[in-house]
Amino acid sequence: MTEKRNTHGAGAGASAGNSNVAAITSAKKKEAEISTELESITPEHLLEEVKKNKTLIEQLLQAIKNNKHDTEKLINDALDRSLASHATDNALGPNPFIGFQGKDVGATAKTLVKHSLLHPRTTLQHLTRFIRDEVAVLKGRSDLAPAKGDRRFADPTWSENLLYQRGLQTYLTVCQNLESWITDVMDDPYDADRSRYLVSLLTDALAPSNWPTNPQALKRLLETGGGSAINGIRNLVGDIRHNSGMPSQVDRSKFEVGKNLATSPGMVVFKNEVLELIQYQPKTAQIHARPILIGPPPINRFYIFDLSPSKSLVNYAVNQGFSTFAISWRNPTKAHKHWGFDTYTGATLEAIDVVREISGSDDVNIMGTCVGSLLTAILLGHLAAKGDQRIHTATMMVAVFDTANESQLGMFMTPESVESAKKASQEKGVLDGQEMGKMFAWLRPNELVWSYWVNNYLLGNAPPVFDLLYWNSDTTRLPAQLHGEILDFVLANPLKSPGQLTVLGTPIDLGKVTCDTYMVAGLTDHITPWRGVYSNTHLFGGPSEFILSSSGHMQSIINPPGNPKAAYFRNAELPAKPDEWLAGAQKHADSWWGHWSEWLGKHSGDLVEAPQSLGSEKNPPRYPAPGHYVFES
């Protein structure tokens, strides 16, 4: 019996082996036939029809040259008629505070088509180049490969399989030629940036890695016996129902605020209509006499500073012996549409006075991030105008105060789009946080949309379990007044011109701010580019320290020690040009938190005995951290 089974197995193996050999031989034969056929293709064959029309093209070029004004008007009129009827008023977009309206798409598309028609010779040259590049791909003579670090095409099938390799190279050829074509036909860099962005949205969406034929997806399909497809469909339906059709970035079921997020022990010691003030329980026998007040951005929950204990900046500060307080903003509703710079500045001043009263310190150190940094800068300018020295130092992270610096946030910002966005939020009373979240995602669609499309739908995986992404999805609203003031701020660039912005009745001049400041930027931050953050150092009148983290926008903030991949750059000199600063900067391993702790320690006064209880007689503890406002939906 055993011998027969072995013989049968051997026979089956031999049969399978013969079948595999036959399949491989057939595939190689087919590949040889394809290669032979492709060898017969020449650029001349593909350009034959173009050459037949050479006379017509030359006539068109001459006509444009002789009567450029009329030609341009003709093109504009034709495009106005064709695009106006198709434009829509609402679409996803690259500016989280404005949105991306259909008329922006129409105007940019119109500009792109117009310039291509006004530069037919250039367009023809690029078409010719594309055909030649594609012939090289089809003949297997192209060396095009994805950029280093492009994880979309990490699977070896993309480079080892003939069909996949040439499909990928065709995609890269299209992207490369579109990029160079836009650069050559666009005269205005602003129009070129807008056009590149629109085209990149399309090319990113059409990447072959997003298709069901993704080799990873096909392998997973076979491994799971079709289970990955079922899970993917289930995930897709769930996101359509509960996430506005966007791929979920995080498994929200794994987190709960107060349970495994925002767990640092503390008490709410003050509350007004706008904020709650949390005082954290000291963990050292002695603490610095001068406290630090953490001010989060008003467009997200405060606990970005208090994620899981190992990533909590609050926990780190407490362990370093700092007397630590934090603001938790209320999630505004339509009833709070009038809240603006004055409201948030006034509420912060109230919180500062409570911190001073509880700690017994005449002044405080303050920390802000993103829009929270902008509020901090405005507060500093307000106090400087009054000669008020309640703030001793300020730490400000990932925020650009000179809005003339280039950023994706300003790409589609025009006076017309600003007014339209302000009108929309005034009608609703607030700017919805979930809409802002979607717009932020479309700033970096490959990382924030399509990677999750592949993971959730094509591979059928659950979204990642990541505390920072959970915080990012836990959105809040922005009151209409503050929304409008932020838009006006970006458009008018008032902090660059002393006195142009007025808050609580005082003109803001950052040059009059003489306290020490500590600035943090992210090397790969696409929301607030580091060179723009660097320019902040030259707006203030006091000493500044600038730190460049090796991470992006949020990861630059949440950067606990011990990460072997973390690094930061420091240069004590602050030359006018950021690239000169970087050229002279020294790279340091690990997180910037350690350097900040040392810097802050020098500005936090003597060590004193830690209090046995929180709050004070005037401001007694009310209820435990993380408070109530953080749970308001």
pLDDT at position 451: 94
Three-state SS across 347-410? HHHHHHHHHHHHHCCCCEEEEEECHHHHHHHHHHHHHHHHCCCCEEEEEEECCCCCCCCCCHHH
The answer to whether 379 and 508 are in contact (CB under 8 A) is no
pLDDT at position 71: 46
Torsion of Cα atoms, 399 then 531 then 516 then 316, to 10°: 60
Question: Residue 325: in which H helix or E strand, if any?
Answer: strand 324-329
Q: Quick one: residue 134, left, alpha or beta (phi over 0 = left, psi -120 to 50 = alpha)?
A: alpha
Contacts of 117 (CB under 8 A, 6+ apart): 75, 123
Give the relative orientation of helices 341-359 and 480-492 as an angle to the nearest 10 degrees: 100
pLDDT at position 47: 52
Q: What is the C-alpha separation between 162 and 261, in angstroms, rounded?
A: 48
pLDDT at position 18: 45
Predicted model pTM = 0.79
pLDDT at position 158: 96
Q: Tell which residue, 300, 356, 370, has the closest CA to residue 325.
A: 356
Residues linked to residue 507 through DSSP beta bridges, in sequence order: 502
- Are β-strands 275-280 and 292-295 bridged in parallel, bridged antiparallel, or unpaired? unpaired
Residues linked to residue 365 through DSSP beta bridges, in sequence order: 292, 393
At 366 the three-state DSSP class reads strand
- Domain 266-413+476-631 adopts which CATH fold? Rossmann fold (3.40.50)
One of 64, 370, 478, 539 is an active-site residue; which one?
370
pLDDT at position 112: 80
Torsion of Cα atoms, 237 then 242 then 245 then 248, to 10°: -90
Three-state SS across 423-440? HHHHHHCEECHHHHHHHH
Question: Residue 20: in which H helix or E strand, if any?
Answer: helix 2-39
pLDDT at position 45: 52
Structure tokens at 263: 């767990």
- 374, 391, 543 from 382: Cα distances, Å: 12, 11, 18
pLDDT at position 327: 98
- Locate the domains of the chain by residue range: 34-217, 266-413+476-631
Ranges of the chain whose pLDDT falls below 70: 1-106, 406-413
Q: What is the C-alpha separation between 549 and 593, in angstroms, rounded?
A: 10
Q: What is the C-alpha separation between 247 and 303, in angstroms, rounded?
A: 24
Q: What is the C-alpha separation between 518 and 537, in angstroms, rounded?
A: 9
pLDDT at position 100: 54
pLDDT at position 619: 98
| Residue 515 falls in the annotated catalytic set | no
